[in-house]
Structures are given as C-alpha cells and as structure tokens.
Structure 1
C-alpha cells in the first residue's frame, strides 16, 4: 500500500515554481530506493499551486558521497552548511523544499544564501535563481547584486541590466560598490560602450569613483569595448593602483591594437616596484604576439623563468601562442615538448602554427597524436587548408569530421567549409551544408549567412544567393555588402545600386567594404558617372576616408571604359602614393585597349614595386601580341625565364555530381582525357565549319611552350573543363566552371559559341567576376 505525504502551508504563499514533492513507498520500491533517491526523482514532477509535497518525517541521508548527515529538525546554521555542500541543483531543491516546509525561507539571510547557490555556485541554475528571487518578499541589496552577478557571467548578460533597472525602481537601497563591477562585466560581454559610459556617470554621481574594485572593472570594460584611450584616462586619474589595475590597463592596450603601449606600460610597471603576476605575463605575451615582437617575447619568457614563476598551464599556453604567432615554430616545439601538462589549447595552438606555415605533414602528425580532437582542433586544420589555397583538402577533412564522434561542426567549421566550396565551385557540397544548417536548427547569423550566399553566388546560383539574403531577419552592414558584391560579380550594376539605396533606407550605415563592393559593381557594369559620384561622396557624406583599394576601383572604372588619360591623371593627383595594385589595374586597362605607350609606363612602375610580378609580364606580352610585335613578345618571354619569375598554376575546375574535377593547361592526367580531347576535336570541326578563327593575341597568356602555335589555344584549362562538362552532364544541366585567373578573350568567344551550338548554359567564374553564357551571348555583354 502506498503512502503519500502532502503538507499544506496555508499561512505562507506557495511559489508557483515550487516543486510538489511526493515520497511514495511500496513493497516493490523500498528495496531499491533510498529516501534521497526517491526525493530526487519526485522533484522532477510538475508543480501544483497551493501544495508542497514533502515527507517531513523522512531523513535525508547521504548517498555515494552526496549530502552528509540529516535534515531532520535542521536549524538555520546546519542548513547553511548543507547548502555549501550541495553538488547539483537536485540537492539544492531538496533543501529549498525543506526551507519552505519549516518557514526558514522567510529568513532573508537564509533565503539569500540559497539564492547565491542557485545564481553563482558550481551547480547554478539562473532560471530557478530568478524564480527564487521573485519569491523573496523584500530582497535586500545583496540579493539584487547576486542575481545581477549571475547573469553578468551568463550567456544572456542583457538580463543584468533589466534586473538593475528593476532594482532602481523597487529597492530602497542605492547601488553600492559591489553592484557596478558586475554591470561593467555584463557591458564588457555585450560591448555596449554607451551603456558603460552611463554607468560610469552613475559611479561618479554616487561618489564611488575612488573605489579600486570599481575602477579596475571600469578599465577592463573600456579595454574590452575597444576604447583603450578611455581606459587609460581612468587609469591615469586613479588615486591608487594595485597589480590588478596595471594588468587591466596592459590588457586594454593589447586588446585595443596598441601592443607597443602595452609593452611600454609593463616596463613602467617595473619602475614603480609593482610585482607582476601570472596575469601580467599573459597580457604582455599577448601584446608581443600582436606586435610580432619575437625578441621581446623571448625576453619575457626568460623573465618568467628567472623570476620564479611556477609551472603554469595558462602561462605556458600564452608563451606557446606568442612563439607561434611570431613565426618561431622551433621555439614553440621546444616549449611544447617540455610542457608536463598539455590541454586542448596547447595541442590546438601548436597544430595551428604548423598548419598556417604550410607544414601540413607535421600538422597532421600532431592532429593524429592529439588525445582528444575537439572542434577547435578540426577548425584549425580545416581553416588552414581553406585559407592557403587547398579547398579540396579542407572539404576532405570536413567530411572526416562528420564521421568523428569527438567533435561536431560549429559556426567556424561551417564558414570554412562554405568558403572552400566557393573556391572550388562545389555547389552540391555547399547545398548539403545548407541542409545541415537547417536540419540542426543552427542560427543563420550574419557571418554564416554571408558565407552561404557567397558560396551560392560563386557557384553560379544567383537565385539561391538572393533567397539566403532575403531569409536573414536582421541584415547588418556585412550581409548587405555581401549581396552588393554578388551583384557586382554578376555585372548587375543597377541592381547593386538599388540594393545600396535600400540599405540606406533601412538606416544601415555603409562601411569601407560596402564602398569597395559598390564601386566594383559600377566598374563591371560600365557605370562611370555613378561610380565617380559615389567615390566623391565617401568622405563628405558618409565619413569614410578612401583607402588604396577604393582608388584602384576608380582607376579600373576609368580604364575599363577606355578613359586611359583620365585614369593616368587620377593617379597623378592621388593623395597617397600609388601601389602595385594601382599600376596593375592601369596596366590591365592598357592591355584591354591596346595602348602600348601607357602600358610600358605602367609596366615599369609596377616592376619597380614588385620585380617578380608575373602578371605584369603576361599583360605586356598580350599588348605586344595584339600589336603584332612578336619580337618584343619573344624578348619578354626570355626575360621572364631568365628572371626566374614564378607563375601561379592556372587551372579550371568543374563540379559534376558532387565531385570536383580540376584541369591545368594541356592537362592529360584526367581518367577521361582521351574522350575530352576527342570532344575538343569535334568542337574544332564544328567551329571551322562556321568560319571561327582563334584569337592569336591570347597565346601568351597560358601557353608554356616556346612554339606559339594555334594548337596551344585549344588546351586552355577552361576549354578542357567545358569539354568534360559536355560529355559528363545531362543536356538540361548548366556547366559550372571556376577559373583562378581572368578568362582570356579566345576562351570567352569559345564559351559563347559552345552555348549556341550545343544549346548549353555555361556558368564560368574567373578571379574577378561571373560569366553566364547562353545562346551565344554572355551576361557581361563583352564588358569584362
């Protein structure tokens, strides 16, 4: 027969969240269920208003080292001791139920002790803490501060400010020196500089501006919010400083991109006889890493060793990170091998260092040796491959990660994988990632949305890119800028300008990236006047000082439109010295329009800045070839060989049924090479029948052979990729190709004819833009 004990407490309001508590004993359950286990199980049952079910006669006994002693007849003092001993929320709920049963919850000190355990202990539960707080009749300032503190360290620090506002309205006591540091911590997490300034004003008004704890918190806040100048102003005016003050200021300079000042402050700290601690050294090492100052970093490591700092994992990881970021892998390996204790940070740091330097074999060895491969380790290797021109390897590793049980992809993983898909044109893989994001209900924030729409755009699916853009609820400046860049890539200048106008209507302020993208859109669409006008408005209207890449865009706009003299005049009047990018853009314009004289000038200027720029040789060669000056072409090729100028390997890739196939110039390594070349022969015969003649001026661009024959034009990588697409995809499918340099004029004409003769859509992305070939025409209207 079951026994259910239900205790009514009519004189004390029962909180709606309180857990109804039943202890059931039966002949079938008593043998396997101690009172503690039964009570813990019962605590998970839904609550009923007006009742708190509690077996007040049962003794809560310890089980497997949990609660010790008994709660029967427990007084306040012993109950407080038990709160400190709790190891999980279930045990706290037991004590909470007992406090309600014995009216101890009415004692404010005891209630605040319970609130503290729920809010900031190792077994905290903020939702329950808030419910407990709401049931305290008149919470004192300590209770308010405790709840603010709990939320300040949570994933939702905004709640700290809402509670603070409620406190100002409801609490009879004014915020004290323990209130503001927690609020500054919340503001630091959210990086809300304006709110922090308001709180700073309240501190001054409350005459708390000389409190060391508050001032140290204020320095930390300004530093983490990107305002090191304000942090330094607080630091300078402090009536007294301790080591925490110096640490906070050093860290503020390091976070604010002022590592030189951080290192100088550390040296000043030495002269003030302030003894640095581990936190000081970590901040200084971080500054060395950001300044890439290996010599000073080594001195700091010697300082740590000579001044008796104990073996410390955090400090060792900071030294390791400094060595890696300063490019000294030998020092990093020596330290790593000496470290007695290593955690996931240690392993990931050394792995990341090898990967970023291109030491992929060593990176993989470290990766394989890791005792636990967390998500950060996978990300380090995937990111390194993706950012160093190895997208295929990045996606292979991403696939392996799916099979791993140790880690799951996070936002960084997905962004890296999407970028790799964009590089390869792997739209099937990219679409799979999109499905993965939806299936796992991953928040499509601005970073992920930008990567996703960029992937679709670069893989040739503008409609899906636009659909992603429209699905983003809160579009920030980066999402708008990315979509404008997509329109620029597709040569849709008017659409890009319309997006820019809509962005302004939504009160989104453009940034430097936005202007780079909108100027590129004007460039690719031949919108000279519009581009020039936007450039002139940048500083006076939008407060953005033009940088070198904005000047390059304008030069390209003028040059592509054939306004070479205007472009040359613009370069002469630039307020900043022209860079290699400037002269490269001008040389490209001269190449397109066949102006030998200005091209030679740009070529000389470019080689003065970058003597090994192979693009300069190629562009000038093309100009000489168009002019029929084959002697200069030959001389330039010889000069290129003698100078040992290294060229980037030019290739094209095509995604067929989820597999990316790559082709180099004259490639015969593909398993279907024989069929590909037979298809090219078939194409040549069709072209000859309609009187097609290849553009011989493009021979130099990709040919590696000295004998400049017409045959070399037939083995351009994009032609091989197109031929493979014709024999391996259905006639209803578009052929999607990615090329790593600008498409040459002959291949452009070739693709137009293929789209007409074979009735196929060809989507080809080169380094600068997209070309959609259909029915013998290109979306760029031959303006590229």
Structure 2
C-alpha cells in the first residue's frame, strides 16, 4: 500500500473498523513512522473518540505538529480531562511551537471547565502576544465562555464589547454567561438584542428560565419562537419546555406541544417521551402518562422512575409498587432516584411495612447508601402513620446531617399528633438552619396558642418582629386558553374592567353572599 493511497483511505474513512484496517496495513508495511501519516491516523482516532488508540499513535510521532497537539487537547476535553488538556497546552508552548486559534480555544475551554482563572488570564495574554484576536470570533467566543464560567461576567462583557466581528455564537455565549451567573434579566436583554438567533440561543434562554425557577417566562419564549416562525423547536428545546409545563401544571400547553411534535414528526425518542410522561404525571393526567409509558419499547431507568413517582404522588401507591415489580422483573437495575420514588409511594399510601422493607433492601440487596432524600421519605412515612417517636429516632441515627425538609416533616407530624415537645424540638432545628422561614414561625405560634402557652406565643411573635420576618403571600397559577396567569394573595395587579378582574369580583360577591348566609345561620 503506497503512502499516498493510505492518505486517500484516511480521508474517506467512515467508521472505526475501516480505520483499524488502515492502521494495521500501515504498521505491516512500516509506513507508521512517516510523520504526516501518523498524524493523520492519530487525528482520525481522535475524531472517533478512541483515546487509548490515539495516545498510542501520538507517542510514535517523532515531531508532532500544532494540529496533532491541538487534537490531543481536544481528545482530553472530549474525555472530560481539562487539567490534562492544559498540561498538553503547556508542553506545546515549552517546545517552542506557536499556538494557533484552535489550540488556544482548546486551552480556554479547559480553563473554563476546570474554573482555572489564572491559566485563563495567561492564555488571554498569549492571544494578544501572538495577535490571534483578529482571527475571527472563535477566539473571542472562547474568552467570553471562559470568563463567564469563572464568574467574571463583567470581563466577559468587556471582551464582547471589544470584538469587531460577532456571530450568533458570540451573542449566545454572552447570554449563556449571564445565565450561569444567575442574571436572567441581563441575559434576556442580550437575547432581545440579538440580530439573529439559532436553536442553541433559543434553547439556552428557555432552559435558563427553567433552571432559574421562572417557567412562565420560559413558556413565553417558546410561544415567541413559534410565532416568529424563523426557527423550529428541537428535541432538546421541547424537553426543556415540557419541563416548564410540568413545573407549573400547564396541561393544556403541554398537550399542544405533544400534538405539535406528533404532527411535525419530531423525533419522539425516549427522552422526549420521558418528558411528556413527566409533564402528564405532574399535571395529574396519569392515563395519558401511562399510555406513553406503554408505547416506549425500550424503557430506561428514567421511564420506570417517572411512572412510579407519578402514581406515588397521586396516592396510587400500590399501582406504583406494581410498576416497580415489573421493572425488577424486566431486569432493569433501580438506582437511588428509583428508591426515592418507591419510598414516596409507600409514604403516600401509608404502606409502613413495605417502606421499611424497601429501605432496608436498597442497602442490603442493592448496596445503595441512603441519602437525605431517602431519609426524608422514611421520616414522612413514619410521621404520616403517627409513629413520631420512631421518626425522631431515625433522624438521630441518620448517617448524613438532617436538613430543614427532614425537620419540617417531623414538625408537621408532631403537630398532627399534638406532640408539643417534639414539635418544639423540630421547629427550633428548622430555625437554626433556615432562620428566614416564615412558615415555621407561624406554625409554632399557632401551636403555642392551641396549647395555651401564651408566653411562648408572644415570644415567637416578638422573634418574628425582631428578625423582620414577614409571611410571604400565597401564589397560584391557572392556565386559560394556553396562557398561564399567576396570582398572589392580596395582589391588585389585574386592571379594572378586564375579564380576569370581572371574574374575581363576581367570585368575591358570591363568597360574601354565602358567608353572610352562613353567619345568619350560625347566630339565628
């Protein structure tokens, strides 16, 4: 096999098996010592993400060029080894090789992933020394990402402002940087100013709102995408939006999205189907969720767990355990999240013995150490069954420090069982961990009042006043014709004369009439 022919085969190589055959022929004929050919074989192995084979070839290259070093950096990044990638970049510099734009982008990516700001600044200085700033937006984009990942969003903004050439990735990098720094308002400003958007930028803004606890804003962005008509939703975007629908119970919009992906033949892989299941479960439509569940030919762990948890939180604990039994029979291995769903099912259905059994099984049979979530389910299960002392004992034996959720669960069960001593203990523990939790102050105040312990009740009121604790208003959401409306207690935002305000006024009138009627009946 001639060297030129070998180069041609490498250029047309389509899979790993072909590459191994070419490599074997090169070894047989002694062509692997040729630098250019070895570099191409190495680069092709990195393209197929085969690190061991690539390392072996790289070690045989006598004088690797900048392209090969850059491929080695990329290989370390692809295998999630940013520190090794930085080490390779340092070796490149020590050998006197001049870095190009691709190698510094790899180094900046490694600095971002490892949160190594010091090395990132050094690479930034190297970029100016080698005059790589004007090599297109790719370097600037990497700088924005590196500074953003290290929490230096103002520096990233400066880099953005100084860039003469910007593309859609530049704007998306800055927007994503603000999202990483929990500044959704600035991210939205960047998003609105973008001269053009692609699926990555739309998805980043939507998922940013979802992860930032603003699902309503995420759904607004999705509706804007559909109305603009310039881009089409991707599977990743659909999953993010369905997650937002699930968080606020927007069933109508979730059903519209389900219909959309079905009509447009969007790839309904297991990830999208899992997201649909999750949305239907959290919206209370278990029949729809179970239909999708049955349609999944190859169920993964998330599929099983979602369906188990769906039945669990809606009180169908026995059905949830039946699905868990089917999962075990299918040969799928439950993980920690699955056992959270199983224990939650036992808790909601009051299945104390089953809960104890599975809590022990996850440790003895599946060698899974209980985490805070598993203890929380058990404390809730025992508390719901009125076993306050056993619940308290379990907390004392926990292998991890109990958090506010654990103590809050004990507080609720103690109040329900009128166990004042344990309730006071739980309440004080919560206030030590979360001193600004307004609900705990109110619960303890009510409990002291019910027990006629007025001095303690007064102390609790004074403590709230001294700490400037105010009860947060209740919040509710309702979906009308695909639009999610949010209401706060004592909120005066609806404008007079609007349909929403008219409905609220009518409801208030009916409630006043009903209350006056009850009042008259009571004192007749």
Question: What is the TM-score of this pair, normalised by structure 1?
Answer: 0.57
Asked if structure 2 preserves the Cα contact closer than 8 Å seen for 1:209 and 1:215, the reply is: no
Match status 1:451 vs 2:297 = no
Asked if structure 2 preserves the Cα contact closer than 8 Å seen for 1:444 and 1:472, the reply is: no
Aligned residue number for residue 316 of structure 2: 492
Cα distance, 1:498 vs structure 2: 0.8
Match status 1:680 vs 2:511 = yes
Aligned residue number for residue 460 of structure 2: 636
Aligned residue number for residue 250 of structure 2: 426
Aligned residue number for residue 175 of structure 1: 21
Cα distance, 1:398 vs structure 2: 1.6
CA displacement 1:335-368 (0-9 Å, x = unmatched): 1111122121111121233345554554344333
Asked if structure 1 preserves the Cα contact closer than 8 Å seen for 2:144 and 2:177, the reply is: no
Cα distance, 1:436 vs structure 2: 0.5
> 2:108 is paired with a residue of what secondary structure?
helix
> 2:478 is paired with a residue of what secondary structure?
strand
Match status 1:338 vs 2:162 = yes
Asked if structure 1 preserves the Cα contact closer than 8 Å seen for 2:210 and 2:240, the reply is: yes
Distance of 1:207 and 1:571 partners within structure 2 = 68
Distance 1:388 1:550, change over 3 A: same
CA displacement 1:718-772 (0-9 Å, x = unmatched): xxxxxxxxxxxxxxxxxxxxxxxxxxxxxxxxxxxxxxxxxxxxxxxxxxxxxxx
Match status 1:602 vs 2:426 = yes
> 1:176 is paired with a residue of what secondary structure?
helix
Asked if structure 2 preserves the Cα contact closer than 8 Å seen for 1:446 and 1:478, the reply is: no
Alignment partner of 2:294 out of 470, 480, 492: 470
- Range 464-473 or range 288-297, more displaced: 288-297
Aligned residue number for residue 627 of structure 1: 451
Aligned residue number for residue 362 of structure 2: 538
Aligned residue number for residue 655 of structure 1: 479
Where do 1:240-251 residues align within 5 Å?
242=64, 247=70, 250-251=73-74
> Which ranges of structure 1 fall in alignment gaps of 5 or more residues?
1-108, 114-139, 153-159, 168-173, 181-202, 225-229, 692-784
Cα distance, 1:596 vs structure 2: 2.8
Match status 1:314 vs 2:138 = yes
Cα distance, 1:246 vs structure 2: 5.7
Match status 1:299 vs 2:122 = yes
Question: What is the TM-score of this pair, normalised by structure 2?
Answer: 0.82
Where do 1:87-126 residues align within 5 Å?
none
Radius of gyration: which is bigger? 1
Asked if structure 2 preserves the Cα contact closer than 8 Å seen for 1:382 and 1:397, the reply is: yes
Cα distance, 1:460 vs structure 2: 2.5
Asked if structure 1 preserves the Cα contact closer than 8 Å seen for 2:41 and 2:57, the reply is: no
Asked if structure 1 preserves the Cα contact closer than 8 Å seen for 2:42 and 2:58, the reply is: no
Distance 1:292 1:146, change over 3 A: closer
Distance of 1:317 and 1:220 partners within structure 2 = 23
CA displacement 1:384-442 (0-9 Å, x = unmatched): 22332322222222222112132111112222222222233222221111111111011
Distance of 1:405 and 1:657 partners within structure 2 = 21
Aligned residue number for residue 412 of structure 1: 236
Where do 1:14-413 residues align within 5 Å?
149-150=13-14, 152=15, 175-177=21-23, 238=59, 242=64, 247=70, 250-251=73-74, 254-256=77-79, 259-260=82-83, 262-263=85-86, 266=89, 276-312=99-135, 313-355=137-179, 357=181, 359-413=183-237
Distance of 2:58 and 2:444 partners within structure 1 = 62
Distance of 1:648 and 1:576 partners within structure 2 = 30
- Range 285-294 or range 346-355, more displaced: 285-294
Cα distance, 1:499 vs structure 2: 0.8
Distance of 1:475 and 1:690 partners within structure 2 = 58
CA displacement 1:8-55 (0-9 Å, x = unmatched): xxxxxxxxxxxxxxxxxxxxxxxxxxxxxxxxxxxxxxxxxxxxxxxx
- Range 559-568 or range 358-367, more displaced: 358-367
Distance 1:632 1:275, change over 3 A: farther
> Which ranges of structure 2 fall in alignment gaps of 5 or more residues?
495-500
Distance of 1:626 and 1:541 partners within structure 2 = 46
Aligned residue number for residue 498 of structure 2: none
Cα distance, 1:266 vs structure 2: 4.9
Distance of 1:209 and 1:549 partners within structure 2 = 57
Asked if structure 2 preserves the Cα contact closer than 8 Å seen for 1:594 and 1:627, the reply is: no
Distance of 2:90 and 2:433 partners within structure 1 = 38
Aligned residue number for residue 183 of structure 1: none
Cα distance, 1:144 vs structure 2: 7.4
> 1:653 is paired with a residue of what secondary structure?
strand
Cα distance, 1:219 vs structure 2: 6.6
Match status 1:461 vs 2:292 = no
Distance 1:496 1:354, change over 3 A: same
Aligned residue number for residue 386 of structure 2: 562
- Range 476-485 or range 678-687, more displaced: 678-687
The alignment of Structure 1 onto Structure 2 pairs a total of residues equal to 508
Match status 1:553 vs 2:399 = no
CA displacement 1:674-695 (0-9 Å, x = unmatched): 212123234435766998xxxx
Q: CA RMSD in A?
A: 4.0
Alignment partner of 1:617 out of 418, 441, 446: 441
Cα distance, 1:514 vs structure 2: 1.5
Distance 1:539 1:411, change over 3 A: same
Asked if structure 1 preserves the Cα contact closer than 8 Å seen for 2:33 and 2:60, the reply is: no
Distance 1:270 1:506, change over 3 A: same
Asked if structure 1 preserves the Cα contact closer than 8 Å seen for 2:474 and 2:489, the reply is: yes
Asked if structure 2 preserves the Cα contact closer than 8 Å seen for 1:336 and 1:346, the reply is: yes
> 1:480 is paired with a residue of what secondary structure?
helix
> 1:654 is paired with a residue of what secondary structure?
strand
Cα distance, 1:287 vs structure 2: 3.0
Distance 1:209 1:654, change over 3 A: farther
